[in-house]
Amino acid sequence: MLDKDKKIKVGIIGATGFAGVELVRILLKHPHAELSALGSVSFEGQAISGIYPSLAGLCDLVCTDSQSVIDKSDLVFACVAHGMSQEFAADCAKKSVAFIDLGADFRLESEDEYKEWYDGEFLDKELHEQAAYGLPELFRKDIRGKKIIANPGCYPTGAALALYPALAGGFVEKTGIIIDAKSGVTGAGRSPSQTTHFPLCNEGFAAYKIAAHRHTPEIEQSLSHAVGQELALTFVPHLLPINRGILTTAYAKLKEGVGLDEVYDYYENFYKNEAFVRLKSLGQTVNLRDVKYSNFCDLALHADERAGNLIVTSAIDNMVKGAAGQAVQNMNIIFDLPEGAGLDLIPPAF
């Protein structure tokens, strides 16, 4: 752990996007970190509190360019479109600055899949080998000691936490998995569009990128690790007319003879030391309301005995456990801080 009196200097590239400003919200109260610099191409020279007046008096840092951010930081969070992080990562690596990428560049282990889904390539293969996929509850030991972290996508976080134990425990079939997920509109980011224009979004609801969303291979990758072989599943995201949260309803075929109780026991044991996973008692359900603004992932298990399916629902705040909160959790791990430092965020009751 760092000298307790010396705070980690943390910079954010892409600080004025939604994930960026959520990082600011969390880091402002982190006991062992301090914001060193905020980078923004669109708002260079402007105070973050001018763009987000909620921060007035709390953070009046003026946005700067990405180079300055890297130069002033022990750790850089990058909140930029995929394809842009690799160069930042390379630069950070050169300067021994830790790098946590909230984008997609380092999430997929297979360059082939990256090509297929993102139409990009691995610019520096070595760099990719140094990176870890930062879903601590599932892959914590790979994260420790790393200096490049791929922060998971929002949907993959909710989906993997929901189904990994069922697969790892051998309770469900590897085929026939369905992930039906519903996300609040912050997931679409800061740029306005017809889809997110209030009168067209409000009181509407739709699926999108049906069986074609880029988070599909990432979900498959995590769940494949649970079973030690590749699997293919169906993932359908939906846009919920609320601000925050992803509710995932995951369906998997129960193996012959498997009962809900034994699955539940396995989950309970699997997550028993995880501060951010709250497994509901059998019979209870999860609600996005109960995790908003927090780093929690609430989980509930149900079985449909008539049709033979396990149904796992997970609820996360897409901006926290699905983005900025998990990124800070990763920061805590790689800097050997208490994993929950700065993440004692209480979800308001309403």
Near its own copies in 23-82, by CB under 8 A: 25, 28-29, 52-58
- Residue span binding its own copies (CB under 8 A) among the ranges 103-111, 149-157, 289-297, 330-338: 289-297
How far is Cα 299 from Cα 66, in angstroms, rounded to an integer? 38
How far is Cα 140 from Cα 132, in angstroms, rounded to an integer? 9
Residue 52 or residue 88: which is nearer to its own copies going by CB?
52
- Mapped onto helix, strand or coil, the DSSP state of residue 326 is helix
Residue 41 or residue 210: which is nearer to its own copies going by CB?
210
State yes or no: residue 290 binds its own copies (CB under 8 A): yes
State yes or no: residue 180 binds its own copies (CB under 8 A): yes
Residue 86 or residue 314: which is nearer to its own copies going by CB?
314
Catalytic residue numbers, as ranges: 154
**Using CB under 8 A, which residues numbered 311 to 340 contact its own copies?**
311, 313, 315
Tell which residue, 341, 349, 321, has the closest CA to residue 162: 321
Residue identified by tokens 């879903």 is: 135
State yes or no: residue 155 binds its own copies (CB under 8 A): no
- How is residue 186 annotated by DSSP? G
- How is residue 290 annotated by DSSP? G
State yes or no: residue 141 binds its own copies (CB under 8 A): no
Asked whether 150 and 107 are in contact (CB, 8 A), the reply is yes
How far is Cα 137 from Cα 161, in angstroms, rounded to an integer? 8
Residue 109 or residue 298: which is nearer to its own copies going by CB?
298
State yes or no: residue 260 binds its own copies (CB under 8 A): no
- Pairing verdict, β 8-13 and 75-78: parallel
- Residue span binding its own copies (CB under 8 A) among the ranges 60-68, 95-103, 247-255, 334-342: 247-255
Asked whether 97 and 121 are in contact (CB, 8 A), the reply is no
The single residue among 37, 92, 159, 288 that binds its own copies, judged by CB under 8 A, is 288
Contact partners, residue 83, CB within 8 Å, separation at least 6: 105, 118, 120
- Residue span binding its own copies (CB under 8 A) among the ranges 60-68, 87-95, 157-165, 229-237: 229-237
Residue 2 or residue 210: which is nearer to its own copies going by CB?
210
Per-residue burial over 305-330, b = 16 or more CB atoms within 10 Å of its CB, e = otherwise: eeeebbbbbbbbbbbbbbbbbbbbbb
**Using CB under 8 A, which residues numbered 191 to 210 contact its own copies?**
191-194, 196-208, 210
